[in-house]
Homo-oligomer: A and B are copies of this chain.
Amino acid sequence: MIDFWFDFGSPYAYLAGEQIDALAAAHGRTVRWRPFLLFAVLRELELPAPMAHPARRDYLLLDIERSARVLGLPYRQPTRFPVITPLPARLFFTLAQTDAAAAARFAREALRAAFAQDQPLDDTRFVGELAARHGGGEASALLAAAEAEPARAALRQSVADAVAQRVFGSPFTVCDGEPFFGADRLPQLAARLSSAERP
């Protein structure tokens, strides 16, 4: 099992999200997309946010653009940043109740919208329509479900699971129990998957 923990507001999750499914598929594996709220987990673990400090923030903004360029992925720094992410996370869990693959498609497209097209993930209408396009159904019904208790409970549980597993960053990929923090660790994950296939 490959768990792909991510926050919808994480630029590095976008960079990894563009690669993780193909990487897993190349080794006959599947990915479980697991959205959580990074700020909530960091608060619980008593860790600072990655961009809280100006020196780190300035560096990370530079590093994100450079990393996207090296990977050949389009990137646009969102106008509204940080991105507010409980709504897309709850829409994800709403879709996942009936179709995990649709939820993963929605997640991938939402990250792309946020970080390649500067679309606002905190805009109810925009994310509602995005969810409807990938999950089927009416945007209004999905948005209503995303406000209801089951979706809220699913997100709370996800945050609690992330805290318990000490998922202290985004993206955070766990493959057969081994943690890989950051988009920059996907090559090491690939090496791990390759060596696991050898007899």
A contact residues vs B (CB 8 Å cutoff): 45-48, 53, 55-56, 58-59, 62-63, 66-67, 70, 166, 168, 178-179, 181, 184-185, 187-188, 191
Contact = CB atoms under 8 A, between A and B. Distances in A.
B181 A63 contact: yes
Contacts of A55: 45, 47, 166, 168
Given A53-B168, A62-B178, 12 more contacts: A45-B53, A46-B53, A47-B53, A47-B55, A47-B56, A48-B48, A55-B168, A59-B166, A59-B179, A62-B179, A66-B188, A70-B188
Contacts of A58: 166
A160 B184 CA distance: 30
A81 to B, nearest CB: 20
A146 to B, nearest CB: 30
Contacts of A63: 181, 185
Nearest to A172: B59
A189 to B, nearest CB: 10
